[in-house]
Structure 1
């Protein structure tokens, strides 16, 4: 039974070396055999999974991910106090016939990633920016040590 692909394999189209070692002949450069028949791309309806960096500063949790080729209005970022979900779609801008490809390694289609945060954040004060294909999401940490006094009202 074939193991499920990792998020990296879904995103990049790579495959485990064991999956690629078989007795089939090496591909030639004839047009009919340029693209391997067993594609490692997500099947229809399957999403690619983004790779992310998540780190902290003294005041915030920062999430970064590469989303090159995606416009800001094509990204959907949802935030709760303990989770961030990033969704989008990377669309091919030109149509190329399958027979004209020599290599087909870029991922096109929908993608998403949900990140469980290491601590609660202030979702209302979160900020996201996109620069040079890198999305950066800054999430202010909630101060659990901070206390607040409540006045008791007479009814």
Structure 2
């Protein structure tokens, strides 16, 4: 009787260090820290529901409120922002290397009920975007202004 084994494309790398994760293989090349700093940030959200509507909190640290766009269409909510990350240095320091990240982040999700666009509000403070989204029977598309 033949034995079946699973094929893993990374198995060849595992013989370098038994039991070491794949990321550890690149640790000696000084590439891993640069990768993590240049990755696009995620928009993490919390959604809470009460009888009248929804409260959405989105973590967006370091983003200017003028660079955030929120749009609502029915029960669809979309949050997008332009992210600009630069490393700052003191005047008495000289550059060894400098990294920047410019890009767009986007998060879209559906709610169980449609949102009343006329009563929806958005507030941004301390890196957290808070959306108050009241429920409605029927809706139309509207772009929110952030206070």
What do the CA deviations read for 1:13-53 (whole angstroms, capped 9, x no partner)?
xxxx954143x5x53xxxxx5443882555xxxx6541111
Pairwise mapping of residues 28-47 of structure 1 onto structure 2 (< 5 A)? 34-36=30-32, 39=35, 41-42=38-39
**Which residue pairs with 1:8 in the alignment?**
none
Query: Matches of 2:95 and 2:31 in 1, distance apart?
Result: 8
Task: Please say if residues 49 and 55 of structure 2, whose CA atoms lie closer than 8 Å, have aligned partners that are also in contact.
Answer: yes
Partner-residue secondary structure (3-state), 1:124: coil
- Runs (4 or more) in structure 1 with deviation over 3 Å come to 93-101
Partner-residue secondary structure (3-state), 2:136: coil
Pairwise mapping of residues 90-105 of structure 1 onto structure 2 (< 5 A)? 90-94=83-87, 100=97
Pairwise mapping of residues 119-138 of structure 1 onto structure 2 (< 5 A)? 119-138=113-132
Query: Matches of 1:94 and 1:38 in 2, distance apart?
Result: 13
Task: Please say if residues 87 and 111 of structure 1, whose CA atoms lie closer than 8 Å, have aligned partners that are also in contact.
Answer: yes
Alpha-carbon spacing, 1:143–1:78, altered in 2? closer, same or farther (3 Å): closer
What do the CA deviations read for 1:112-133 (whole angstroms, capped 9, x no partner)?
1001112111122110000111
Structure 1: unaligned runs, 5 residues or longer: 3-16, 28-32, 145-155
Query: Matches of 2:107 and 2:21 in 1, distance apart?
Result: 27
**Which residue pairs with 1:68 in the alignment?**
61
Whose strand proportion is higher, 1 or 2?
2
Aligned residues: 116
Query: Matches of 2:48 and 2:58 in 1, distance apart?
Result: 12
Task: Please say if residues 70 and 79 of structure 2, whose CA atoms lie closer than 8 Å, have aligned partners that are also in contact.
Answer: yes
Query: Matches of 1:107 and 1:61 in 2, distance apart?
Result: 32
